[in-house]
Amino acid sequence: MENNLPPNQLKAIELLVLGKPILQVAKECKVDQRTVLNWRKNSQFQQELEKQKTEIYEQAINAIRSMTGIATKQLGKLISDVDTPHSTRMKAIEFVINSIKPEQQKLDLLEAVKTLVENGVLPSEVLEKVGTAFSKFEQEIKQAFVVGSTGN
């Protein structure tokens, strides 16, 4: 659908997407606030508003995703750099561990795999492999704390 909204409605949408209150939007568009409220009832206005909100949201998510790699590398440097103060290293390790999916999700996954094995969907050795992988992961985390606590 082609956007045929007049410029003042497009400006109103831009301001609304930025979170501006109706009164401010009305002042900047040089219309009464009831006009802005009426525009919001228009289906084409609503569609364009939702479209622009979605675009802004997707841009923000993409920006966050692009920073994740940088943040991960920084945390890795903080944790592995022996010149980083011990308390900072421990906070970085704690942050990483707290970012890992909660224990309940691990238990839910084990239960789901167990059910699939019981129903014959998966071979029984899969359950053992999943359990072993979780145990190995937990040991690595514990080892990281032991190694980290002997530093600065």
Query: Is residue 50 located within the same domain as residue 99?
Result: no
Give residues with Cβ within 8 angstroms of 53, minimum separation 6: 17
Q: Which amino acid is at 89?
A: R
Domain termination site, one of 59, 80, 101: 80
Could you give the CA distance from residue 45 to residue 36 in angstroms, rounded to a whole number?
A: 10
Per-residue model confidence (pLDDT) at position 70: 83
Tens digits of residue pLDDT in 31-69: 999 999 999 999 999 999 999 998 888 888 888 777 877
Per-residue model confidence (pLDDT) at position 27: 97
Domain termination site, one of 80, 109, 143: 80
Query: Is residue 111 located within the same domain as residue 68?
Result: no
Determine the structural domain holding residue 72 and report its residue range: 1-80
Query: Is residue 140 located within the same domain as residue 109?
Result: yes
Query: Is residue 45 located within the same domain as residue 96?
Result: no
Domain with residue 76: its CATH number is 1.10.10
Per-residue model confidence (pLDDT) at position 81: 78
Per-residue model confidence (pLDDT) at position 99: 65
Query: Is residue 28 located within the same domain as residue 95?
Result: no
Per-residue model confidence (pLDDT) at position 145: 57
Per-residue model confidence (pLDDT) at position 149: 47
Query: Is residue 1 located within the same domain as residue 76?
Result: yes
DSSP readout, 63-121? HHHHHHHHHHHHHHHHHH-TTS-HHHHHHHHHHHHHHSPPHHHHHHHHHHHHHHHHTTS
Q: Which residues of the chain have pLDDT under 50?
A: 148-152
- pTM score: 0.49
